Amino acid sequence: MAKPIILTVDDDAQVLRAVERDLKRRYAREYRVLRAESGESALDTLGKLKLRGDPVALFLVDQRMPKMTGVEFLEEAIGMFPDAKRALLTAYSDTEAAIRAINEVGLDYYLQKPWDPPEQNLYPNLDEMLDDWRANYRPPFEGIRIVGDRWSPASHRTRDFLARNRVPHKWLDVEASEEARRLIENVDHGVPKLPLVVYEDGTYAEAPENREIAERIGLRTQAEQQFYDLVIVGGGPSGLAAAVYGASEGLSTVLVEREAPGGQAGTSSRIENYLGFPRGLSGGDLARRAVDQAVRFGVEILTPQEVRGVRVEDPYRIVTLTDGLEISCYALIVTTGVSYRRLAVPGAERLTGAGVYYGAAQTEAYACEGEDVYIVGGANSAGQAAMFFSNQVRRVAMLCRGDDLRKSMSEYLVTQIEDKDNIEVRLNTNVVAVEGEEHLESISVKNGATGETETAPASSLFIFIGAAPKTDWLDGVVECDERGFILSGPDLSKNGKRTKGWRLNRDPFLLETNVPGVFVAGDVRHGSIKRCASAVGEGSIAVQFVHQYMREV
């Protein structure tokens, strides 16, 4: 593949030379650094690059140029290279224009002149942008191919698994793709069970389990050791934060994740309220950054792997995995979050994965291009999905039980939704049935205010109706409330009395459960605030209590 390009534009020859020099010093091995002394000549160069099919990774452009400002240049340039990252060189007085440009041209970063030393003021931000670009850039395809039926739950599971674990893959619809037909003809007996997963080296597997794929592509599902200082169950924001803090503070740490690191946040198309990311970031990006950080500190991440049980043999806490293997530790942090609540209407269970989906917005979005989709739910997660889909599909209908979106959704999202012509919000609306033979064909909805029921054709229904914890595997060991959320710290005492069976002279630490050394953090904790930042905060705080606990063992 040709090296991706970094293009820098500045009318001041001296500044241009300095930027070019600093860029080459750091990036010349992996990128081609090009320069232009005006917006016009840069656009000329871009036209040629486009024709040749060369990828552009980053624009670094001065805002103050006499004929065409940096923002004006970016407006034109992103039409040709919409995926390229955008950074603006500014003087202090351009700050307002730069902040406006975050909305106008999706500016990723603005940098003030002078940027010396570049190691501090230039490279860290450009490194991040280029990492993001690389993570999302799809070069001519060389990875895993999946041949499947768009409406098959098994194909959906495989695709969703690879997408959420950020394994590059290409989806080939058996009904629509010539390449799919060619691959099927090459299978020995010519009638493979779908999905057919074709690996890079040309070997293939018919309808493989996710675990089988994971092992084949080198995801780790088995622990290297039998004993760790700290085991974390669940790889959402809370578990990943606990892992980063645990390992960075010297604890041997393993994290066990059932599906894919990122948890619920990993399924979010855009998280806009996470501190430090003024443009928001996708859950996928947040998860990728957190996983990189955890691995860098030496965390072992096992995925897909599920914890099925826990028992105590003092001073050890022992977890049992799906395949019966066990891992022991001194301290355990449970960060298993919550899972989507299922839609309890006739037909929903049978059609899950075949037109009815829980959350899986990003995996299916491209298949729904140009179609109409329905979203059930009125909270932020449903709103984010509606916004995300509105850029891909013809029309989004949001079906909300309540009578006012503002009662359940953040104001900024309500405003964004109101500004979208192709999102229709239907209030007082309950889904009462979903119908279809092989896949979803229609839905029936009832208006709670008028009592009227109507049936409409539908092919895709995405459900975001809240979530519940799944903590049955802790039954009999760790105390939960009546809804399954785990009790900890002060919530364990009743009328000033310590929880039954607590035998230590101290009270349970803030995030400690009724079992000393077993902690809980994030959405699965009784009384938690269901947000990324709070999950991350709790995950990191829990590690402090792990240290205190370990002084006792």
Ligand X SMILES: Cc1cc2nc3c(=O)[nH]c(=O)nc-3n(C[C@H](O)[C@H](O)[C@H](O)COP(=O)(O)OP(=O)(O)OC[C@H]3O[C@@H](n4cnc5c(N)ncnc54)[C@H](O)[C@@H]3O)c2cc1C
Residues that bind ligand X in the complex, under the rule CB under 6 A: 233-239, 256-259, 263-265, 267-268, 271-273, 306-307, 335-338, 359, 380-381, 384, 470, 473, 522-523, 530-533, 535
Pick between residue 393 and residue 535 the one whose CB is nearest to ligand X: 535
Helix axes 237-248, 283-296, angle to 10 degrees: 20
For ligand X, which residue has the nearest CB?
337
- Nearest distance from C-beta of residue 167 to ligand X, angstroms: 16
For residue 317, the SS3 value is strand
- Nearest distance from C-beta of residue 403 to ligand X, angstroms: 23
- Nearest distance from C-beta of residue 203 to ligand X, angstroms: 29
Pick between residue 170 and residue 470 the one whose CB is nearest to ligand X: 470
- Nearest distance from C-beta of residue 359 to ligand X, angstroms: 6
DSSP state of 262: T
- Nearest distance from C-beta of residue 256 to ligand X, angstroms: 5
Residue-wise DSSP of 139-164: PSP-SEEEEE-TT-HHHHHHHHHHHH
Pick between residue 214 and residue 338 the one whose CB is nearest to ligand X: 338
Pick between residue 194 and residue 233 the one whose CB is nearest to ligand X: 233
Give CA–CA dist 71/73, Å, rounded: 5
Pick between residue 312 and residue 533 the one whose CB is nearest to ligand X: 533
- Nearest distance from C-beta of residue 68 to ligand X, angstroms: 36
Give CA–CA dist 153/206, Å, rounded: 15
CA angle 465, 470, 474 (to 5 degrees): 165
Pick between residue 87 and residue 265 the one whose CB is nearest to ligand X: 265
Structure tokens at 234: 């669940």
CA atoms lying within 13 Å on the CB side of residue 153: 12
- Nearest distance from C-beta of residue 370 to ligand X, angstroms: 23
Pick between residue 143 and residue 309 the one whose CB is nearest to ligand X: 309
Pick between residue 267 and residue 363 the one whose CB is nearest to ligand X: 267
Pick between residue 22 and residue 491 the one whose CB is nearest to ligand X: 491
- Nearest distance from C-beta of residue 1 to ligand X, angstroms: 33
| Residue 462, beta-bridge partner list | 357, 375
| Residue 312, beta-bridge partner list | 317
Pick between residue 289 and residue 439 the one whose CB is nearest to ligand X: 289
* Contact of 448 with 399, CB cutoff 8 Å: no
For residue 230, the SS3 value is strand
Say which amino acid occupies 312: V
* CB environment 307-340: b (16+ within 10 A), e (fewer): beebeeeeeebbbbbeeeeebbbbbbbbbbbbbb
SS3 sequence of 462-523? EECCCEECCCHHHCCCCCECCCCCECCHHHHCECCECCCCCCCCCCCCCCECCCCCEEECHH
- Nearest distance from C-beta of residue 13 to ligand X, angstroms: 44
- Nearest distance from C-beta of residue 478 to ligand X, angstroms: 12
| Residue 374, beta-bridge partner list | 397, 461
